[in-house]
Amino acid sequence: MTSKRKYDDGCAVARALDVVGERWALLVVRELMFNAKRFTDLRVGLPGASPNVLSQRLRELDEAGIVHRRRLPPPAAAWVYELTPRGRELEPVVAALAKWGAYEPGTPDERPISVDSMMLALRTLYDPTRSDGSVIDLAVSLGEDGFRATASPDGLRLAREPVERPDAVIHSDTATLGGVVSGRRELADALDTGDLVVDGDEAVLVRFMMLFTQPAA
């Protein structure tokens, strides 16, 4: 196994990168920001990482106290990975990188992104100053995965949990939703083609989409 590279630099930035600067490390953190996951779930979100590399990153992050592995109680009885309190401290770092990357000039990459990455993009581009003071409670269904999205003047809360009486339910995929939120695709076009379907009041969906800033191309 290749030994982990070190910067041999006393700067705090270098010491931080000694821990999370290896390839895929911060993307593992991204995939665990919303909930604990099994190894197979992480593979779905990080298809470009080989099983061996992903296992190595998880071991390193575990040793550094950033990720913790635990066994779920029956009937699940599966091993999952989750962020530790120290790992949670990286969330604003990952969010800041996401925002910096979203506004990086150039043509947006059209390669697919994971559901968690899409949710991070929503949180990054959400602008609470655009809210009219009301709260919008949505269910967002992306294939077999789903989130509750609650938009308010205080921010955008995202969680993998059911919504009893959502104001609307959005059915789409990450590419379509990402295109609409970023302004690369018109909402009307996504609705017309059926790539995005809304159950409930379409006006609520329009209000929700107006709460995001659109990075320049």
* Residue for token pair 């630099």: 9
* Residue for token pair 């379409």: 202
What letter does residue 194 receive in the DSSP assignment?
T
How does pLDDT run along the chain (217 residues), one tens digit per residue? 455 678 878 899 999 998 899 999 999 999 999 999 999 999 999 999 999 999 999 999 999 999 999 998 888 778 999 999 999 999 999 999 988 887 776 555 566 789 999 999 999 899 999 998 999 999 999 988 999 999 999 999 999 998 999 999 999 999 999 999 988 899 999 999 999 999 999 999 999 999 998 775 5
Strand 168-172 and strand 136-142: pairing? parallel
Structural domains of the chain, with CATH: 12-89 (1.10.10.10), 95-209 (3.30.1050.10)
Q: What is the pTM of this model?
A: 0.86
CA separation for the pair 18, 9 (Å, rounded): 9
Angle ∠(105,107,113) on CA atoms, nearest 5: 105
* Total residues found in the chain within this entry: 217
User: In one letter, which amino acid is 81?
Assistant: Y
CA separation for the pair 147, 159 (Å, rounded): 5
Nearest to 162 by CA among 141, 178, 136: 141
Q: 77 is written with which tokens?
A: 């009885």
